[in-house]
Amino acid sequence: MILVLVYHKVIKYPTFDLWWKTFDLQCSILKKHFKVITLDQVIEALSEGKLPKEPSVAITFDDGYADNYIYAYPILKKHRLKATLFVASSRIIKESGKRKNLEDYWKGKVSYRELYSPKSMWQANYLFLKEGKEADFLTQEELLSMMDVFEIGWHSKYHTKDFFQDRIIDLVDGKNYHWSVIHAYGEEPVRGFPLFPMKGSLCVLRGKVRKEVKTFIKSLDDKFFQRKNWKEHLKKELLKNFDSFLEFETQEERVKRIRKEIEESLQELKSITGVNVVHSAYPFGDYDPLLKEELSKRFVSAFTTEKRCITVQEDMHLLPRITVPKDMWSFLAILGKFVGSFLVRSGWRR
């Protein structure tokens, strides 16, 4: 069995995400008690039908946040561990320049206070979609400098979600929505905009909110939203005034969109790194038969976020990964369950 771990952010202080000191401890445990392998080794083992004889773990990161360079990279380097970084190519800051990282701090070149303080995933992605650029993501130079530790994988170009069902599930009232809503609306959402079920943009027929629906909501004055049950009243008004709320693309349009995004992102990654990307990860773990088929034409592997370990006879384009939580006890529980399953499959008896 092989356990593939998914990380996103490694942060400066123990708050909303994984603290770098916790990640450092996790890496110590992984190095001491497990065989840490690359994704190439994962695929080689599956191709040969011979999984490792000892508990083996692969480390992956998704999206491409600046803290991957500032905090995660020096720790992995210190422990001499390899990892894969699945990058959303549009997020890369197309400029030179490297920020100071933990290695600089350890060498006394910079104070701890001077190290970059990461934003949350919600903030980083929302601001990127709003402004078209966000400092919480990697620069080209940072990405390149990490390639002695990280292999670069594909994670889409735009890394967004879209509406895929014409069914109102809520109405915007503040931050009760995924950051991709700014993409799905094509503008910053206002109070009262309807929310619909969302999935990764590449695995659905994309539905865009009709212009007249947005215009209707924008015409409402502040007094309407001062009602105690304004959401209930607004939903009734919307259902009374509109037969449908979303306009959907055709299947042909979706196929063209998927292929275009895959090719453009691959070209961007190749132009920056100079390497051919062979491993991929579904954005948000969302996939369907069409997206799987398109990725299988271009990549050796495709990883989901299905919460289990890799065993024999896996589909190379539906490989599971387990997301690492921010607390140490949950991490140890994941490892304990993995080791227990490994021992059972290996025929271990008390």
* pLDDT tens per residue across span 269-289: 999 999 999 999 999 999 999
Confidence of residue 344 (pLDDT cuts 50, 70, 90): confident
**Does position 216 have pLDDT exceeding 50, yes or no?**
yes
pLDDT at 96: 87
Q: Which residue is listed with tokens 């735009």?
A: 158
Q: How many residues belong to the chain?
A: 350
Confidence of residue 334 (pLDDT cuts 50, 70, 90): very high
Angstrom distances, CA of residue 128 to CA of 136, 187, 272: 9, 13, 20
Mean pLDDT, all residues of the chain: 96
Measured in whole angstroms, the distance separating CA 21 from the mean position of its chain's CA atoms is: 22
Q: Model-level pTM greater than 0.85?
A: yes
Residues above pLDDT 70, as percent of the chain:
99
**What's the rounded Cα separation, in Å, for the pair 125 and 215?**
26
* pLDDT tens per residue across span 279-316: 999 999 999 999 999 999 999 999 999 999 999 889 99
**Does position 350 have pLDDT exceeding 60, yes or no?**
no
Q: What is the DSSP secondary-structure string of 147-201?
A: TTTEEEEE--SS--EEE-SS---EE-SSS-S-TTHHHHHTS---TT-EE--EEEG
Domain boundaries, the chain: 2-155+278-345, 161-249
Burial class for 106, CB neighbours closer than 10 Å (0-12, 13-18, 19+): exposed
Confidence of residue 348 (pLDDT cuts 50, 70, 90): low
* pLDDT tens per residue across span 106-165: 999 999 999 999 999 999 999 999 999 999 999 999 999 999 999 999 999 999 999 999
2-155+278-345: in CATH 3.20.20.370 = yes
Confidence of residue 349 (pLDDT cuts 50, 70, 90): very low
pLDDT at 345: 82
